[in-house]
Amino acid sequence: MSFFAGVDVGSSAAKAVVIDDQARELGRGLSPSGADLSGSARRCFAAACRQAGIAEAEVERIVACGFGRDNVDFAHQRRTEIDCHARGAYHHLPRAITVVDIGGQDNKVIRIDENGRRLNFTMNRKCAAGTGAFLEEVALRLKVPLDKLAELAGQATDPSVRIGSFCTVFAMTEILSRIRAGVRVEDLARAALESVARRVLEVQSISGQVVATGGVMAHQPLMREILSQQLQAEVFVPPHAQYVGALGAALVGRR
Amino acid sequence: MSEQKAQVKRISAAKTMKKIMAEHFHRVDEASRDPGKKVAWCTSVGPAELLQGFGFEVYYPENHAAMLGATRKATDYIPYANAAGYSPDICSYLTADVGAYLQGYTPLQDAYGIQSVPKPDVLVYNTNQCRDVQDWFMWYGRHWNVPCLGIETHRNVGPVSEAHVDSITRQLQHLAEQLEPIAGHKLDMDLFRQSVGLSRRCSELWEQVLLTGSARPSALTFFDGTIHMGPAVVLRGLPVAVEYYQQLLAELQQRVESGEGAIEGERHRLYWEGMPVWGRLRALGELFLSLRTCVVASTYCNSWIFNQLDPDDPFRSMARAYTELFIVRSDPVKEDYIADMCQRYQVDGIVYHDAKTCPNNTNSRYAMPQRLEQRTGKPYLILSGDLNDLRCWSDEQARTSIEAFVEQLEQG
Ligand code: SF4
């Protein structure tokens, strides 16, 4: 049996996936990116191998992606996270899809045809709006742990609460003034998630089946419903949504 | 993606170019200090030939601003112009140039030992490219108390009518009258015709140079083009530019004949729409090289082709040449042009540079990429950045976008 690994070094976490030659996922590992990207890559790769029950040396081919892909000095090959997210998502849902990846510091929308060919992609580039970084900032302002944001948003009752600004700093000012005006934290949490979904909506016209990936989707379960409402599309979140890029990278290695 | 390090190929004519550009700057610098000579500042697609007909030494601030960009000094000086009231959202040529002036810096110091930009006797703009050049020149006009004159061109022109050309011709004739007292003499019609003729010749040769990019493999890259277009911008109308492009053309034709590409093992060919990112020319050149992808043509480099110029009808042909320019035209005309270029240069895709501070040279904001993709079937990539202000540029995101785009092309 042959083994392949993908290592996706993103801005907040490094993720690794080990697969076999049947593309079965055998192990996953995660390590916060921190300042030592190469160390994080090694740690998540080691963890994935441990979970797969194989020795690191048994992995035939390692493919790195993500913003720290050059720091994965043990990789045999590098691909962009765009390519890897597309492949990973298509693996989960092999048909014409639009992949929406909401990562820590950027989001991307990738269109794929029924044969898995990438038709185009768009990244938001300019700021934190529509990314995990925005939600981190919101959680900080609302004084709630990031992973409780969606739970809180689930208790929202006033759908008219909105956060309108593009700019994260402006959005924070908006939040503070709403808090002063007595708006409930739950409603603000939901408004923040909706704001992320709307930024995605602006990236490009989206229709048909959407596959949503990335850390934000993995950690904020309510996001699926919100995204689906905002995009007016069916949204599928693959299991282990945060590892889809790493899975795609492993699939590149298997080819 | 190939990880093998390849070298950017040198063009040997570059030595000559350096020499003639240095001579140009020294000539203008000396003229600015010689009471017997007159200096005119001119926009890059302004009425240079007319100024030469009056015997002015002509200096081009946009070229200077691009030097600030290419030497990566622009971003240091832009904030000083911002502080003086010129927004970070407007032309970063203007803000870099004015900011550097306010701080007493010019890249001419490091490159040629010239202490400051040449003080003009007159500033002459043409708004065919944008309003920013007018504001920019007016700033210097106020600063030195010298006249600032110009041509106000129509914008977003569809088919160019005789009415358009008439009005610009009249403006050019009026400009000639205004220039007389500044020059201290009448327009020398022979000199003017000569300049128009030389400019036309320069432009024809420059076009031939760029066309060597249509060979497979392409003989030059967009990044080479942005460097070698210097003489077409600042020396057009002078014999030296014609001689230079003869030399460059011979070298590139040699490449075409021997099947030598600017990029070893060229795999993909792209069109670049928009301004260069001056501070990243080298980095981008190397990135595309590592991806075996050649940016074979661009709107930008082709914007200094003025084949309408006719020495027998200098005013009217100038009016036509400077109005039929891409940047002056409506989207449908621009789209026809790009579609035609894509075919002529056999490109696989289009890269649009969305330059934050230059809406005039940014064509990705009104759904043109989407329309052209539908029309030509060529995929596109939009890069967010700027010509000079590197605060608007992310190396990391640009690299990922470009690599992902090439991966997409590789799917076949
Ligand atoms: S066309 Fe753009 S870059 Fe050129 S002067 Fe005008 S605003 Fe500046």
Whether the pLDDT of residue B406 is over 50: the answer is yes
Pick the closest to residue A109 from A125, A93, A91 (CA basis): A125
Pair A164, A112 in one domain? yes
Pick the closest to residue A193 from A235, A231, A243, A138 (CA basis): A138
Of A78, A106, A123, the CB nearest to B1: A78
Pair A248, A170 in one domain? no
Six-digit token pair at A181? 């005006």
Pair A73, A108 in one domain? no
Measured between CB atoms, does B290 come within 8 Å of chain A? no
Measured between CB atoms, does B346 come within 8 Å of chain A? no
Count of domains forming chain A: 2
Answer yes or no: is B341 within a domain: yes
Answer yes or no: is B1 within a domain: no
The confidence score (pLDDT) of residue B345 equals 98
Pair B88, B125 in one domain? yes
Pair B110, B244 in one domain? no
- The answer to whether A46 and A30 are in contact (CB under 8 A) is no
Which domain does B103 fall in, by range?
14-188
ipTM, interface predicted TM-score of the complex: 0.92
Is there a contact between B397 and A83 if contact means CB atoms under 8 Å apart?
A: no
Pair B178, B196 in one domain? no
Whether the pLDDT of residue B2 is over 60: the answer is no
Pair A100, A195 in one domain? yes
Interface test with B, best of A33, A67, A72, A80 (most B CBs within 10 A): A80
Pair A124, A71 in one domain? no
Is there a contact between A125 and B397 if contact means CB atoms under 8 Å apart?
A: yes
**Mean pLDDT estimate for chain B:** 96
The confidence score (pLDDT) of residue B5 equals 67
Pair B281, B309 in one domain? yes
Whether the pLDDT of residue B177 is over 60: the answer is yes
Pair B162, B206 in one domain? no
Place of tokens 């040699």: B254
Of B384, B407, B411, the CB nearest to A125: B384
Query: What is the domain-level CATH number for residue B324?
Result: 3.40.50.11900
The confidence score (pLDDT) of residue B178 equals 98
- The answer to whether A103 and A215 are in contact (CB under 8 A) is yes
**pLDDT tens digit sequence for A88-122:** 999 999 999 999 999 888 889 999 999 999 999 99
For a mutational test of ligand 1's pocket, the pick from B44, B94, B138, i.e. the residue with the most ligand atoms closer than 8 A to its C-beta, is B94
Residues of chain A with pLDDT under 70: 125-126
The residues that bridge with B381 in the sheet, in sequence order, are: B351
Pair B269, B345 in one domain? yes
CA-based nearest residue in chain B for residue A66: B400
**pLDDT tens digit sequence for B305-331:** 999 999 999 999 999 999 999 999 999
Pair A137, A113 in one domain? yes
**pLDDT tens digit sequence for A135-160:** 999 999 999 998 899 999 999 999 99
Q: Which residues of B touch A80 (CB under 8 A)?
A: 400, 403-404, 407
Cα-based distances in Å from B205 to A20, B164, B192, B340: 59, 28, 20, 20
The confidence score (pLDDT) of residue B393 equals 94
Of B159, B188, B217, the last residue of a domain is B188
Chain A nearest C-alpha distance from B13 (Å): 36
Pair A150, A220 in one domain? yes
The confidence score (pLDDT) of residue B47 equals 97
Pair B360, B261 in one domain? yes
Query: What is the domain-level CATH number for residue A16?
Result: 3.30.420.40
Measured between CB atoms, does A255 come within 8 Å of chain B? no
Of B188, B209, B234, the last residue of a domain is B188
Pair B266, B120 in one domain? no
Is there a contact between A120 and B408 if contact means CB atoms under 8 Å apart?
A: yes
Query: What is the domain-level CATH number for residue B50?
Result: 3.40.50.11890
Rounded-to-integer distance, Cα A89 and Cα A98, Å: 9
Is there a contact between B400 and A118 if contact means CB atoms under 8 Å apart?
A: no
The confidence score (pLDDT) of residue B3 equals 46
Pair B174, B226 in one domain? no
Pair A129, A71 in one domain? no
Q: Please list every protein residue whose CB sits less than 6 Å from any atom of ligand 1.
A: B 62, 91, 93, 129-130, 132-133, 358, 360-361, 387
Beta strands in B182-323 (DSSP E): 268-273, 293-298
Is there a contact between A120 and B379 if contact means CB atoms under 8 Å apart?
A: yes
Residue B4: band (very low, low, confident or very high) from pLDDT cuts 50, 70, 90:
low
Chain B nearest C-alpha distance from A180 (Å): 33
The confidence score (pLDDT) of residue A50 equals 98
Which domain does A119 fall in, by range?
94-237
Q: Quick one: what percent of chain B has pLDDT higher than 70?
A: 99
Q: What does the DSSP 8-state code read for residue B215? A: S
Is there a contact between B384 and A118 if contact means CB atoms under 8 Å apart?
A: no
For a mutational test of ligand 1's pocket, the pick from B60, B97, B133, i.e. the residue with the most ligand atoms closer than 8 A to its C-beta, is B133
Of B145, B168, B188, the last residue of a domain is B188
Answer yes or no: is B5 within a domain: no
Cα-based distances in Å from B368 to A197, B312, B336, B364: 25, 38, 11, 6
Pair B27, B153 in one domain? yes
Atom of ligand 1 nearest to the CA of B93: 8
Whether the pLDDT of residue B135 is over 50: the answer is yes
CA atoms within 13 A on the CB side of A62: 25
**pLDDT tens digit sequence for B339-367:** 999 999 999 999 999 999 999 999 999 99
For a mutational test of ligand 1's pocket, the pick from B41, B304, B361, i.e. the residue with the most ligand atoms closer than 8 A to its C-beta, is B361
Pair B403, B296 in one domain? yes
pLDDT mean over B46-61: 98
CA atoms within 13 A on the CB side of B229: 27
Answer yes or no: is B6 within a domain: no
Pair A9, A117 in one domain? no
Pair B221, B111 in one domain? no
Pair A112, A199 in one domain? yes
Pair A115, A224 in one domain? yes
Measured between CB atoms, does B359 come within 8 Å of chain A? no
Measured between CB atoms, does B401 come within 8 Å of chain A? yes
Answer yes or no: is B3 within a domain: no
Count of domains forming chain B: 2
Rounded-to-integer distance, Cα A89 and Cα B285, Å: 32
Pair A216, A110 in one domain? yes
Please state the three-class secondary structure of A184-212 as a single string.
CHHHHHHHHHHHHHHHHHHHCCCCCCEEE
